[in-house]
Structure formats: structure tokens, C-alpha cells
Structure 1
Amino acid sequence: MTPAEHITAFLAGQTRSRIGFDLLAQAADAGDSSLPTSVLRRRILAGAAAQLAGAGILRLPAAGGRGWDLSAEPPLPLWVERLTPHRARAQRPVPRAWVEPLAFAAHLPLSRADLELLSPINDHLRDHPDAEHVPIPERSYELYGDEKRLARITTHRLVTAGLLSITDHLRAFPSPAPLAMYELGPAPWMLIVENSAAFTSLRRILRGWPRREEVGWLAYGGGDHLVASLATCLETFEEREHPIEELLLYADLDLDGLECARQAAERGREAGLPPLVPAAGLYGPLLTRPPRAVPVADAGRIRAAAAWLPEPLAARACALLPQGEVLRQEALPKPRLEQLLCPDQTLLPQLRGQQANTAAC
């Protein structure tokens, strides 16, 4: 079941009209053990709330009002109002004949939500068995009149179980927003930077590097956008006839940044990209800067996420983060970066941390 389905099931057992959204979030967490630790959790919950509001199952607070948690993006409602479903909505669709590719459906105890998902796909396969593959939102709009209906189809239990195929049954493919990439030079490597300030500083430094042949791609992206969009860079490499052999990431030294790095590394490996490795030459100096205080995070999650860093950086991060201290990229400003990246030394080894940075540069 999806988070929206778990929330719907929870709402069905409630009698109050107004319900705190934290209870709905707990219901979604309880139904999906991976959700509480996912860096995408907030976006997933926001999407589920919007989906249920669009389906007339709940009402969200007024936009721009005080009923929203604006502490992070995307905003989440502080409460929702439970709406009484229409009688017709509670009726279970009658069994139907399934086309051969969906024959598995005849042998499964399908919920109403499953049937509402599969029925339009069944009709489409029957009428257009050789349909051209299109982006998932386009197929979603064609089948359901809602371009966001299939936004989380990749995590649906029928898909993860290997029964429903996005490629073969939906005749569709993911189309995440592209990674922002800048070809600063011809070298076969790319550095991804999470924060806009650090990206801007490094772009200006690398744009003026004295030996252009040492400079490669610089990309901007972080969080769930990076995880979703990383594979899109392959098409850009092909279009520019400028592939890469090394892929580096420089992000915040906090739990979210490290967990995002691990997820992005896995996504890149699945897409056939070179291994995503830390820009250790930047992380090392960042760890010498003054940290800032944040709420204490779980030590076990920190250790697991920090394993993406090489030693001794991983040990230093594990010593810092459980104390409620993190290091944002803004702590290593442009003047300091200019001192660290020495123009009289080869660039890539400095980014890798394989060549000593000299403060005199």
C-alpha cells in the first residue's frame, strides 16, 4: 500500500472531523518501514496529502494560512479535515477480464485502489498493445486525467514485487527534472555541489582556472532532486560527446547530506555512471571550520550514512554529528576555497584529496 492508502485507511477509523497531520504521518510511517528514514519523506507526505485532497478524501488548510508547517520544503499541513466519502466511492469495482500481460491480477486479492489503478492500464493494453513509450506523467494524464496520479508508481507494491512493469505494461518511463550541469572544460570528470552559494563560488574559481584542459563538468543539485535526476546527465554527456570517467559530490556534512549521497550513489550505479565518490579535498577543509548547532540526530543513522566518506573523514563526521553539530558548505567561503585550490597544482587530485592543499596558494 502507498502512504496515501495507509492514511486513507487510518482516516476511515476516525470519528473527528479535524485530525492532526502528525497522526496521519505516523500511519504512513507504520505502513512503510523505509519511510521514516527516507530523505524523501517530507515530499512523499506532501504528495500524499495533495493526492487525497484532490480525491475529496480530506480538506487541507487554507493556502498561506496558519495551518501549515513552513519549517522546511515542501510545506506540510498541521491538520486536515476528514471528508465523508461519496457512497459511490465506497463501492468495490466489479471483477473484470484481464488482458494476458495482466493475467496475474485474476489471482490476487486486489483492493479497490488496486483495481482503480489497473483497470485503465488493462484497457490501454487491450486497445494499444504496441503504444509508444512516453514519460510517466503523460501516460498518467492519458489514463487517469491526472498527470500526478502515477507520481509514485515506482514504489507501488505491484511494481516492487515485479508484477506490474512500468516499461511493458504502462509503456512509459520516468522523466525527472534534469540535473543542472555546466561544461566548464573538456576534462572527463564532474563535480556535483549541493548548495547554490558553494556552487557559485566554485563555478567562478573553475571558470578562471589557468589550464582549461584540467576542468570538467560542474553540476548543481541536492536532496531528492539529485537522487531523482542524476541519471539524466547521461543524455547530456551523449549530446555533448563529453562523457566522464569520475564523478564527485560535495554536499553539506549533515545527516541529510550524507544519506542523500548514499542514495545518489546507488542511483548512479544503477544508471551505469562511474562511482559517486566524495570530493575529499573539499570535505577535509570543511571539517576544520566552525560547526553550527542543530537537533541531535540518531547515531546509528549517522554511522551508516558516514560510511560513504573515506577514513579519516568518516570518523571525524561520526564524532561531530551525534553531538548536534553540522557543517554547511557556506562555512567554507570563496576566499578560503581560492586558497585551497592551488592553480600551480593539478586540479582533479586536489578535489579528490590526493594532493595536499597549501594555504599559501
Structure 2
Amino acid sequence: MGIKEQLLAYLQTYNKATLWLEQLERLFEHSSVQYREFAGAVAELESEGLLAAVRSAGRNGKQPSLAYRYRVDAPGLRRDQRQRLQQLRLTLHPAIGLDAYFALSEDVFAADWPWIERIGRRLDSHGLPAEPAPAPERSFELVGDEKWLAEGGKSLLERIGLWDKLLVQPVHDPLMMAVNPRMLERTPDSDSGESDGEPCLHLIVENKTTFHALLPILDETSFHTLIYGCGNKIVGNMEMFHLQYPVKARTHFFYYFGDIDHTGIQIWHEVEAQCGAVLAMPFYEGCLGKPPARGKTNQRRHENAVQSFLAYFREEERKRLAICLQEGGYYPQETLSTQELRSIWRSGIWKALKPLN
């Protein structure tokens, strides 16, 4: 959004007849905008009659000169808003509609516009989706935040007429554990040659989106179960595992795949203490092939958990992950699409991976 557009967005939510120049200047005090650029945008609003200098307040004497105080033409700003909506409609992907905003207050549009721009760029580069995807996965694709749809994004998509076009699948709460029927038929004394010394493999995933993505191919893998962690609920629920899966003649080997953020790392660390769960490295390595998301700056860091987690990675990856986490970056499980998750599970080398040091 340009300087003039930011000024307009502010003015359209302003509910007083006059304002001081310093109120407009504060909008850019933490940006790289130069005075000449700022003054040029304010001068344009003056020439369009949307701002009128209060002569008795004087001018600042800079070049170009601006008034210390302005009257705001509220009706003119509403006209400008309508014209701007009509102009912006021409610049956006044709699937995005702005008609709803002609009947809404300007502040609603000002709040929605950054998201609309981001969604528009995604559609310009990738087009509308051809296949359905779970809501968190689609949410991450659109705006880089897997929770955005659930936290109000759906309403915005309905306003711009996109919701029904994005093929968003609802994600229902699954059962906590799914069992591979093919592996149930394999017993130590069967023709498979499997012995008591071969462990039953179990994959724990933190989020239900990943559970739903992997569930259809469980019987194509060598894993005995797929376990839905449900965030940190898995820490308590793991105590029930041997009651729910009472296969006592075998050892059990657990892999874990969760979000690469401080919360996800801490959950894994606690599960690892309970059942020795190791990182499902093929999935984590797949995440590292993607750019990190940003915004996890308020999570508590658990140093022992982070160091144990980083020990699974090569030195270069450790450094990159350490910097990412320190700067508030993270990798949600939804950074991998359904097809990528399935491909990794089918082709990954699943062995008793231990930390590299």
C-alpha cells in the first residue's frame, strides 16, 4: 500500500472534523518514508479537496510546505472510497469481488485490504485450486498462517466471494489412533518371517490436518498405527497406549512429527521422555526445504528441549533452525501439502534414528 493509500485508509476511519499534521506524520515514524514523499502525498490530498489547510494554524516552513492543521472532507472521502474500490477491482484477480465493501464502513475495508492483497498475489501466481485441501493447509497457502481461516479468515473470503471457490475441506476431530489392518495380520509366527525382535512402528502427528492427510495411506506403509497427538494432549494420553494396543510380545518404536516451533518442540520432548519417541526426520527435512513462516515471537523457549531437538540435525541445519527460532520463525506441519506428506511417508527411510551427537 502506497503512502497516499495509507493516508486515505487512516482518514476514512477518522471521525473528527480536523486533525494535526503530526497525527499523519506518526503513521510513518517507524518507516523509511522520506519527508518529500510524505509531503507529496499530503499535497495530493489537498489538491483533491479531501484535506483543507486551517490557515490560522500556520505552515511548517519546510519544502514542500504543509499546514500544521487540516480540515477533513468526510463526504469526499466516502466518494473517494467508492472510486478507489472501482479502481482496485480492476487490479485484482477476477475471482475476487469487492461489491460487499460498497455497503460496509471504510474501516472494515482498511482492515481487510492487506489480506485481500496477499490472497490476490497468491491467485495471480497459482490460480484457483483444482483439488480440495483441509482448511489449515489452504489457510497456510493463502496467507502463510495455518490458523487464519479459523480465526476470521472465512468471513473475509465470504465477503469477497471466494469461499466456495477455494475447495476448503472441513477438518473433523478424528479418533486418537488408527490401526493398520494389514500389519495386524502379521504375527511373529506367520509366513512373513517377522520375529519378536522386530518392533511395531507407530507415527505420532501433532495436528489433525496431518492425521487426515496421512490416514488414507496407512495401509500402504510398514507402520502399525497412526496416532493423533492433539497438541499437548498426547503427553497424558500416551499412558493409555498399551491398554489400547495390547500387543505385549513385541517392542514398540515411536516416531514423532510436529510443528517446528517452541511449543511443538516441547511437546515432542515430553513425549520422548515417556516412550522414547524419535523425530520423524523425513518429514522434518521436508519442512526445511520450504521457507519458514513468521510470527511465533511470544512462545516460551525450553532450552533443554530445543537442544535435544537440534541434535537430530546436521550442523548447517542446526544453525539455520536456531536462527529461525530465535527470530520468531517456525514451520507448521501444514507447510507440507497432503501430497507431499503422503510421498514422504511412502518413500522415507524409516529406521531407528537417534540424535547425531
TM range (shorter): 0.3 to 0.5
Larger Rg computed on CA atoms: 2
Task: Give TM-score scaled by structure 1 length.
Answer: 0.40
Greater helix share, 1 or 2?
2
Task: Give TM-score scaled by structure 2 length.
Answer: 0.40
